[in-house]
Amino acid sequence: MSSTDTALSRTAAIDEFDRTTSRWGQITMGSALLLSLAAPLYLVLFADLGVTSGQVWTAFLAVGAAFFVLWIIEPITYFPVLGPAGMYQAFMIGNIANKLLPSALVAQATIGAKTGTKRGEFSALMAICGAAMVHVISMLVFVGLLGTWLVSIVPVDVVDVARLYIFPSIIGAVIVQLVVSLKQPRVTVIAVVVAALVLFVLVPAVPALAKPATGIVVLLTASLAWFLRPRTKNVDTTETGSGA
């Protein structure tokens, strides 16, 4: 088989993979949404709980106001790293920022795969599979089998330290990995300055902005990075003949 045929075969296989992933990803995500809503809808519509539709909508709007920015920001920021297939997996599994995204970044850095490429997408996909397997097995062992006994022997001070510092340390590692892998010092400086100003100046001055602070930082960073980007003129190198 020639190199051209090999390239065409590889392209066809990747296209088929994308089509299959999109089809089954939509089916599984839609099914999961319906199943997750089935029990609450049954309780509201058929059980005598005294819950009115007005209360349901009020609760939905309250949650939406708190997390609406994240509903938009998270898919946009995760997509370049995870790719379409990884996005379907990640949002089905959960714990994206503190488990799946770090796993994908470590896998890409280990094999030298760039984000936004098919190689990076496939490495993220396999990393998510591995992270999910480790998570399930560890949950079965440390929660299902040893959960009550393990919690009973862990000192309270250790539990408090874990609650306070483990999650920030994981997020910090993710941020460092993103900075190293993206290699965009200008955007990194903009993000650090904007985050510092929002967290240490804007939020103390306006405490009501504490919840949407993450969204504000992301939007401001993206906007400033766009407007402050280096503008280079495109030089047309196309040669034109002097035909008759």
For the chain, report the end-to-end CA distance as a whole number of angstroms: 43
Nearest to 101 by CA among 39, 93, 240, 70: 93
Q: What pLDDT does residue 63 have?
A: 80
Asked whether residue 127 carries a pLDDT value surpassing 60, the answer given is yes
Is residue 123 within 8 Å of residue 104, measured between CB atoms? yes
Token code pair at residue 219: 């939007």
* pLDDT at res. 1: 57
Those residues whose C-beta lies under 8 Å from the C-beta of residue 78, and which sit 6 or more positions away, are 87, 90, 96, 101
**Neighbouring residues of 179: CB distance < 8 A, sequence distance ≥ 6:** 188
pLDDT in tens, 78-118: 888 888 888 998 888 888 877 888 888 888 888 888 887 88
CA distance 177 to 118: 20
| pLDDT at residue 182, rounded to an integer | 67
Mean pLDDT score of the chain: 81
Two structure tokens written together for 158: 């250790």
Q: How confident is the model at residue 126 (pLDDT cuts 50, 70, 90)?
A: very high
pLDDT digits (tens, 9 = 90+) for 132-171: 898 889 888 888 888 778 778 888 888 788 778 877 777 7
Question: Quick one: pLDDT band at residue 237, thresholds 50, 70, 90?
Answer: very low
Least trusted range by pLDDT, from 31-35, 156-160, 236-240: 236-240
Q: Using CA atoms, how far apart are residues 105 and 173, in angstroms rounded to an integer?
A: 10
